[in-house]
Amino acid sequence: MLECIELFSGAGGLSLGLRKAGIKVRVAVDCDADCKATYELNQPGVTYLQNRVQNLTRNDLLGAIKHPKEIVLAGGPPCQLFSRLNRSPVSITEEVKAYIRLVRSLRPLYVVFENVPAIKRRSSAWGFVVESLHRLGYGVRWKVVNCHDFGVAQRRERMIVIASKLEVDVPKSTSAKSLTVRDAIGHLPEASQEIVNHRSMVLSKTNLKRIKSIRAGGNSRERTASFSDSYARMSWDRPAPTITTKCISFSNGRFGHPVYDRAISVREAANLQSFPETYEFVGSLLSCARQVGNAVPPALGEALGKEILRSFKRHKRKI
């Protein structure tokens, strides 16, 4: 039985997808208290360690594991430093070093590393990760994927690395339909206290006036201006832009609702990330938005899980 340890788990998007695929998630790790509360509310039965990955040892993680030779170690170290918006040179972070240290001590059957595409060209961390995995005897496959190709109503590119001593690859597109903003949030009302996390930010008078002047898909700035997607509405019949930690802020991206005079709500952002509508985020409005924006879309996690399970079933006799 494949068992998963997820590092940097946040609110549990990757865990949710892996579980849906059929992988037993045993341990999740993150240092954020709101993430822990969200995860445990929605995914009970998983041992959640609220701690920094840098502080943990092999023994800390193996307590809940029943089959230590059949582990999937998954996770995406914090990616803000590797983002294209950060123009400074980036060295190997302590989180990435801790990730590889735990790969070395646990020797998992499969390793899943997720991050922003810019990590490959903007940081020495990329070479460190790939070379370390090779030195440990793993075959390494990597690919930049667009989450939209996996049933997510959003254009979101991620770097996916899968490493194993068994044959496995990064999954290809699994979505037969191009999902749009309308598919994900078109059924939701302007406001409702009965819908979990259907909360949005209050606009200033200036921004309220600005958004009232914009049609669906429109923008209040010239397209050539810097950050031209600020103060803009989403289009009903296109995928959403990348959902970020500022996803409920009208001034921080194309996060205006297509027709309502507000930015999208936490619930709408979560739907656009492919979370089920019953998944409840715990914390302040800004904390909930941060959890949603940092999450791996569960639909992508499920595709990764299914690919790993196919490999495991093909090669289990070699273990």
**228: buried, middle or exposed (CB in 10 Å: 19+, 13-18, 0-12)?**
middle
For 216, other C-beta atoms within 10 Å of its C-beta total 16
Catalytic residue, chosen from 4, 31, 35, 79, is 79
Helix (H, G, I), strand (E, B) or coil at 85: coil
Q: Residue 109's closest CA among 171, 170, 162?
A: 162
Q: How far apart are CA 102 and CA 95, in angstroms?
A: 11
- Segment (H or E) for 71: strand 71-75
What is the torsion angle, in degrees rounded to the nearest 10, for the CA atoms of residue 80, residue 85, residue 91 and residue 92?
Answer: 30
Question: Tokens 């294209």 label which residue?
Answer: 84
Taking each helix axis as running N to C, give the angle between helix 125-135 and helix 94-106, from 0 to 180 degrees, rounded to the nearest 10. 10
Q: How far apart are CA 307 and CA 274, in angstroms?
A: 19
Taking each helix axis as running N to C, give the angle between helix 285-294 and helix 33-42, from 0 to 180 degrees, rounded to the nearest 10. 70
Q: Respond yes or no: is residue 79 known to be catalytic.
A: yes
Question: What are 241's two structure tokens?
Answer: 């832009």
Which residues are 146's β-sheet partners?
A: 157
Radius of gyration of the chain (CA): 20
Q: How far apart are CA 212 and CA 191, in angstroms?
A: 17
* Residues labelled as active-site residues: 79
